[in-house]
């Protein structure tokens, strides 16, 4: 099941569809992201708006819809993906990083609000992961090698690393 996370009605509709089909939602993962590296001096509403819509506003709609469905049942686990850019400022990242930082804070509030209903809320703050969104960055081999050398395991993280972390958080052991 998929939808445009920025469209409140679509998020509500897909949640209702899942509930009608399965009767419950045990785990939900928000991995939606959009980045357009732009320095503040060059930002326009057309550049900033979509990043905030996807990573913050859409994420809140997702947490709300999934949290309400889980709270009406036996609880569950909601997992969103943040980014280390929320913690490591760099030029051109204000829209993306600020949205991810906002997502982390919204998730903390959601954890407080939904906790009594046995709904767990977590964020995975990923480092640089190779995806279609980051493909251009991964073409810069010297940069990637420098990042790789600074990581304790001496390797870049992968989409599988994020998926396995989400799987753990969604499990009873999480």
Active site residues: 96
3-class DSSP assignment, residue 124: strand
CB atoms within 10 A of CB 44: 8
Contact criterion met (CB below 8 Å) for 170 and 29: yes
> How far is the first Cα of the chain from the last one, in angstroms, to the nearest whole number?
24
How distant, in Å, are the alpha carbons of 114, 116, 150 from that of 67? Answer: 7, 11, 37
């Amino acid at each position: 099941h998929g939808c445009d996370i920025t469209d409140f009605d679509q998020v509500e509709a897909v949640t209702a569809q899942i509930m009608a089909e399965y009767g419950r939602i045990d785990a939900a993962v928000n991995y939606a992201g959009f980045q357009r590296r732009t320095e503040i001096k060059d930002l326009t509403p057309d550049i900033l708006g979509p990043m905030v819509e996807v990573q913050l506003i859409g994420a809140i709609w997702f947490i709300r819809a999934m949290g309400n469905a889980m709270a009406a049942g036996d609880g569950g686990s909601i997992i969103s993906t943040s980014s280390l850019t929320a913690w490591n400022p760099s030029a051109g990242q204000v829209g993306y990083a600020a949205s991810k930082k906002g997502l982390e804070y919204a998730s903390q509030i959601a954890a407080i609000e939904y906790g009594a209903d046995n709904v767990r809320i977590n964020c995975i703050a990923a480092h640089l992961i190779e995806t279609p969104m980051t493909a251009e960055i991964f073409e810069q081999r010297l940069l990637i090698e420098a990042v790789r050398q600074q990581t304790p395991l001496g390797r870049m993280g992968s989409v599988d690393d994020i998926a396995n972390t989400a799987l753990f958080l969604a499990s009873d052991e999480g």
